[in-house]
Amino acid sequence: MDMKDFSLEGKVAWVTGASYGIGFAIASAFAAAGAKIVFNDIKQELVDKGIAAYKEEGIEAAGYVCDVTNEEQVQATTQAILDKFGKIDILVNNAGIIKRIPMLEMKASEFRQVIDVDLNAPFIVSKAVIPSMIKNGHGKIINICSMMSELGRETVSAYAAAKGGLKMLTRNIASEYGEYNIQCNGIGPGYIETPQTAPLRVPGNPFNEFILAKTPAHRWGKTSDLQGPAVFLASDASNFVNGHILYVDGGILAYIGKQPQ
């Protein structure tokens, strides 16, 4: 085994929605492994904040304003990246939203918005990037799925539908383009410590206690827990891994829960 297979030296990685949070952590890990980092966000303000955050970490990242649900913008951004860097070796479809609304109270327009960002956008961006990967003879696509790719829960009907669809889109991209040396896999994060989950993680909060009880690791995940799996799936070490969803959840999906006392 050659440990150089885990290196991303000389690779160009585009991580969508990576101004902060999980996307930022994954892009930072790619940079540490040697990749050049490209990211986008929906507003210039977020792109500027992202560039500043990467700079603080000693990472030179190229940021673009791009709405990943807009096919024309995605095609233009893809071309801009190719013009500047000459290739896109790695794509991480990270941008996503969630709306926690009971199904009977959710408007169809709200459902469509979640599907558009969490499922349609990965299709649009992958479609834009795959032709250059075919031309170059290799490529890695990583879709950020979720435990909701496998499970349902109250108030997340749109999110679960989108992430379930993303799991199958992942498998279908692998099926269609594996012969071109393109590997498409997914990462399914468990409950991760981010600014968005901070209110839920307050000690004594029933939801916090619920998550700790359902997780064999008995803790929330950290964004750093996703870095190793992401680098593996982006590297040559995973060249025969295709159509797989790697759940990084502390064991939740393997665990039925404690027997009541």
* Cβ–Cβ < 8 Å for 143, 186: yes
* E strand map for the chain: 12-16, 36-41, 61-65, 90-93, 139-144, 182-189, 245-248
Q: How far apart are CA 28 and CA 31, in angstroms?
A: 5
* Identified catalytic residue from 54, 64, 159, 191: 159
Positive or negative torsion for Cα 184, 190, 193, 199: positive
- Find, among 127, 129, 246, 116, the residue nearest to 188 by Cα: 246
Q: Is residue 159 annotated as a catalytic residue, yes or no?
A: yes
In degrees, to the nearest 5, what angle opens at C-alpha 140 toward C-alphas 56 and 136? Answer: 105
Q: Decide: 177 and 184 in contact? Cβ < 8 Å.
A: yes
Q: State the catalytic residues.
A: 159
